[in-house]
Amino acid sequence: MIKMKQILFLILISLLASCDQKELNVNAIARVNDSYLYEEEFISSLPADYTRNDSIFFRVNYINSWATEQLLLQKSKINIDDKKNEIDKLVSDYRKDLLISRYKEAIIKQNLDTVVTSQDIDQYYENNKDIYRLNKELVKIKYIQFNKDINDRKELTEIFKLDGEEDLMKLDERKLEFNSYNLNDSIWVSYVSVLKKLPFLNEEKKLKKINFLQKEDSLEVYLVALKNVLYRNDIAPKSYVEPTIKQMILHKRKLEFLKEIEKSLLEDATKNKQFEAY
């Protein structure tokens, strides 16, 4: 009789456990052995702008990706010997580095002076200009490209040649008539990028200043004025490397700031008897 009660008790426990497991997995949308993927996890991964059709496609891909990951993980646990817990150590080191990195980013964001003045840039450039050597040609150029059948071609050519401030304004007002143009000849641009627009410049024996050049083909006319040229290995103009200089100044400040933070942490910890070196 007692044995029968024990058997009935075990059957009851088994049924209850089975019911609990069924209730636990009622929201599961996939299973790999004893691992389950639940509806809530899938829903939370959906992008904000998804559509119903997208969600069907996304669901299939998400489930297959999850299943592949689980199968690989389970295979790795069986086949990879990690008796020295090297993986756990790597995970621990990564977590530590990530936490420290996040903390550093937070204090940098709150405290680092990110204002870089023109004086800062000037000083840095003057002190380091020799390291900024060009690895490509730069030019200051003005050009316009327009259809050959334009009505006032002669007048337009004369305006282009004059090159005064008012003349540039007149060209700017008509820029919708041009197929391509660059009217701002005060900035340095890559000569390679210019050649994509004006390949005939490659016909010149040597890259040099051009006061005025007119070229035409069966359809279009090109007017060009090459105002200035810098060659490979010339010192780069400040305006061209200014973004790089700004990044370098901020990077240097960041390193100096972190060094001061680390020094301060050690000093405070020593003073408060939180840190001792034996």
Tokens representing 251 are 């990077």
Counting Cβ atoms within 10 Å, is residue 241 exposed (0-12), middle (13-18) or buried (19+)? buried
Q: Which of 235, 145, 123, 151 is nearest to 188 (CA)?
A: 235
3-state secondary structure of 132: coil
What pLDDT is stored for residue 6 in this prediction?
A: 53
- pLDDT tens for 158-192 read 999 998 899 999 999 999 999 999 999 999 999 99
Domain 134-230, what fold?
Chitinase A; domain 3 (3.10.50)
The model's confidence at residue 3, banded by pLDDT at 50, 70 and 90, is low
The model's confidence at residue 85, banded by pLDDT at 50, 70 and 90, is confident
Q: For the chain, which residues make up each domain, given as ranges?
A: 2-80, 134-230
What pLDDT is stored for residue 17 in this prediction?
A: 46
Gap between the Cα atoms of 135 and 188, Å rounded = 14
Q: Which of 252, 249, 241, 235 is nearest to 120 (CA)?
A: 249
Counting Cβ atoms within 10 Å, is residue 174 exposed (0-12), middle (13-18) or buried (19+)? middle
Gap between the Cα atoms of 186 and 181, Å rounded = 14
Distances (CA, A) of 149 to 160, 178, 219: 17, 12, 8
Residue 21 pLDDT greater than 50, yes or no? no
**Residue bearing tokens 């993986």:** 87
Residue 1 pLDDT greater than 60, yes or no? no
The terminus-to-terminus CA distance of the chain in angstroms comes to 71
What is the arithmetic mean of pLDDT over 25-39? Answer: 86
Gap between the Cα atoms of 115 and 117, Å rounded = 6
- pLDDT tens for 223-262 read 999 999 999 999 999 999 999 999 999 999 999 999 999 9
Q: What angle is formed at CA 238 by the lines to CA 235 and CA 241, rounded to 5 degrees?
A: 85
Tokens representing 168 are 């540039």
Q: Greatest CA span in the chain, whole angstroms? A: 118
Gap between the Cα atoms of 233 and 136, Å rounded = 8
What pLDDT is stored for residue 88 in this prediction?
A: 87
Q: Please state whether 273 falls in left (phi above 0), alpha (psi between -120 and 50) or beta.
A: left
Gap between the Cα atoms of 9 and 15, Å rounded = 10
The model's confidence at residue 25, banded by pLDDT at 50, 70 and 90, is low
**Residue bearing tokens 């540039």:** 168
Gap between the Cα atoms of 245 and 247, Å rounded = 5
What pLDDT is stored for residue 204 in this prediction?
A: 73
What pLDDT is stored for residue 22 in this prediction?
A: 45
